[in-house]
Amino acid sequence: MFRSICLTLLLIGLSGCVTQQTRPASQSTLDQWVEQDLIPYLKTQLSQHPRFQGESILLGRLKDGAIQPKMDRLTRDIRDKINAELLATPGIHLARQQRDKRWSHRDRPTKPCDGEQPIHYFIGLDLRLGSSRQLNLTLRALDLQQNSWVSGFSRQWQGEASRQQAELLHTVHLDESLRGLRMLPFVQGQPDLMARQLADDLYCRLKQLPVQNPKLHIQPYEGGEAQARTTVELLTHFLPVFGDVHIIE
């Protein structure tokens, strides 16, 4: 009798373990996995793990372990969905999200050093389409300061791509969130963007000096490069906009 009861309890316990098993990623759609697994994982890790506390984070595309300046539409849609959730989560700082908004104000842009930090971690999405429309997504984190992968930080999904997803993978554009970084430098015709970033960086460096309301002389550029000359001219207009840096002749 006692042995029978023990056997019954053991079978009940085993059946309970089976029902609690996580469903393989391949049995869920990519959208479901992103919403139910990937986003909750990122929100928990980036907001609670001591490694990421107070650090600046950027999401983008990876391929063969390298940050990619181009991004397909499917990866971008996933990134945008993740960013929207992370921006609403306290304790997570996403880099370069306020850069364009800061300069869109008509009166005065917000000061760049208020909450801005160098990017410490790059969270990469590596999305690939294999044979028979087999779709693979791998998530990894790269420590840009140490130039090393974050151990234990990863997520992976595998499943069949829909026809629409396969088409989105072949629609590729430059990832403008990287503009001005080494992997996507400014190009001809962007002196205003270059001057804004220079103004941001220079302002932050000036604010680190033990000087109140610094005065700065910027010598006019006399070289033959038109874009460089325009950039310097715009810089002299952008810096004073912050209100506590003065340009003198």
Tally of domains in the chain? 2
Same domain, 168 and 239: no
Which of 166, 184, 202 is at the close of a domain? 184
Does residue 149 fall inside a structural domain?
A: yes
Residue 195 and residue 129 share a domain? no
202 shares a domain with 175 = no
Q: Same domain for 35 and 148?
A: yes
Q: What is the pLDDT of residue 102?
A: 52
Distances 136 to 29, 73, 170 between C-alpha atoms, Å? 12, 15, 15
- pTM assigned to the model: 0.75
Boundary of a domain, candidates 169, 184, 199 = 184
Q: What is the pLDDT of residues 66-88, one digit of tens each?
A: 999 999 999 999 999 999 999 99
210 and 106 fall within a common domain = no
pLDDT at 232: 86
Which string of DSSP letters, residue by residue, matches the chain?
A: -HHHHHHHHHHHHHHHHHHTSPPPGGGS-HHHHIIIIIHHHHHHHHHHSGGGTT-EEEEEEEETTEE-SEEEHHHHHHHHHHHHHHHTSTT-EETTSSHHHHTT-SS-PPPTTSS---EEEEEEEEEEE-GGGEEEEEEEEEETTTTEEEEEEEEEEEEEPPHHHHHHHT-EEE-GGGTTBTTB---TT-HHHHHHHHHHHHHHHHHTSS-SS-EE--PPP-SS-HHHHHHHHHHHHHGGGGSS-EE--
154 and 34 assigned to the same domain: yes
Q: Are residues 58 and 114 in the same domain?
A: yes
Residue 247 is predicted with a pLDDT of: 78
The CATH number that applies at residue 78 is 3.40.50
Per-residue pLDDT, 114 = 57
Average pLDDT for the chain: 82
Q: Please check whether residues 201 and 126 belong to one and the same domain.
A: no
Instruction: Report pLDDT for 19.
Output: 30
Q: Are residues 169 and 207 in the same domain?
A: no
What's the pLDDT tens digit per position in 144-194?
999 999 999 999 999 999 999 999 999 999 999 998 888 889 888 888 888
Spatial contact of 239 and 245, defined as CB atoms under 8 Å apart: yes
Are residue 85 and residue 44 in the same domain, yes or no? yes
For residue 3, the model assigns a pLDDT of: 41
* 159 and 198 co-located in one domain: no
Range of the domain at 108: 22-184
* Within a domain: 180: yes
Residues 237 and 131 in one domain: no
Does residue 1 belong to any structural domain of this protein? no
Q: List average pLDDT for each run of 10 residues in the chain, which is 249 residues long.
A: 38 34 55 97 96 94 96 97 95 75 52 70 96 93 95 96 94 93 88 85 80 80 81 84 76
Q: Classify residue 12: in a domain, yes or no.
A: no
